[in-house]
Structure 1
Amino acid sequence: MLYRPFENRLNILLGEHGLYRAQWTVLYYLANFGPSTPVELANYQSVEKPTMTRTIHRLKELEYLETIPTKDKREKKMQLTALGKKVYEDVRVSIDEFEQDILEGISEEEQLKAIQIMKAIQQNILK
């Protein structure tokens, strides 16, 4: 009952920036955790590597991502380009406003408790 309305509003918001959820998640991950391999990104989103490869390819076409060299020639790491960083920052402002709107009237204590509960549920699912 919560997931679908949240996803619908988030997709509308991201659509205003020309992005899909999977693309935003890659931008978010790279902005917050630094250069990463496609496998790391796929694991973060819990998707198969070919799915992530398509998302990465599209973000590279948009010039939001670039491949950086590593010591191991078989390993490819992705990082945000200058344009990718700007897009991330622009979308982040919209996401922050969205989060404030949906959390209106919910105390910080209640939010922290909800986060703890959701983490416990996630751990139970992953057992």
Structure 2
Amino acid sequence: MKTYREFFHQFLLLYRPFEHHLNLELAKHGLYRSQWTILYYLSHLGTATLVELSTYQSVEKPTVTRTINRLEELGYVEHVPTKDKREKRMQLTELGNRISTEVRETVDQFEQNILAGISEQEQLEAIRVMETIRKNLIE
């Protein structure tokens, strides 16, 4: 088998089980991966528009809107007033910051467990490879 074929075959075999197990960990906090991704993004960047969030997740804006609506219902995110009334900018609430920190601890443990036996250097190389592939896909 050609190396690139095996690479993507292994990637596909990894993706679904990773997502499934991550969702099991997130369920302990009543969240799904799509919701966690938004909390993670906002915890690092402070605020974001729905367009920025949809671009980050590579999904359509209506998908992000539904997820944001649910996070608002939970009290984790709120609107940030802006000059442009058409722009919907969001940020974490105080509760959202607390939940994000709690979930981060759960996800950190999960990620460390599944990276057992993989050196930091190997992780850095894998990150570089994934960044290059993503760049090639979106350009």
Structure 1 residue 67 displacement after superposition: 0.4
Residues 65-84 of structure 1, C-alpha deviations (whole Å, 9 max, x = no match): 11010122221210000000
Structure 1 residue 124 displacement after superposition: 2.0
Counterpart residue number, 1:32: 44
1:37 maps to a residue whose letter is T
Matched, 1:99 2:115: no
1:83 maps to a residue whose letter is L
Counterpart residue number, 1:12: 24
Counterpart of 1:122 (choices 119, 122, 134) is 134
Counterpart residue number, 1:83: 95
Counterpart residue number, 1:55: 67
Gaps of 5+ in 1: none
Aligned length: 127
State the structure with more CA Rg: 2
1:21 maps to a residue whose letter is R
Gaps of 5+ in 2: 1-12
Q: TM-score, normalised by structure 2?
A: 0.88
1:5 maps to a residue whose letter is P
Counterpart residue number, 2:53: 41
In the alignment, the residues of structure 2 paired with residue 5 and residue 50 of structure 1 have an alpha-carbon distance, to the nearest angstrom, of 26
Please provide the CA RMSD for this pair: 0.9
Structure 1 residue 100 displacement after superposition: 0.7
In the alignment, the residues of structure 2 paired with residue 71 and residue 110 of structure 1 have an alpha-carbon distance, to the nearest angstrom, of 46
Q: TM-score, normalised by structure 1?
A: 0.96
**Which SS does the other structure have where 2:23 is aligned?**
helix
Percent identity, aligned pairs only, is 61
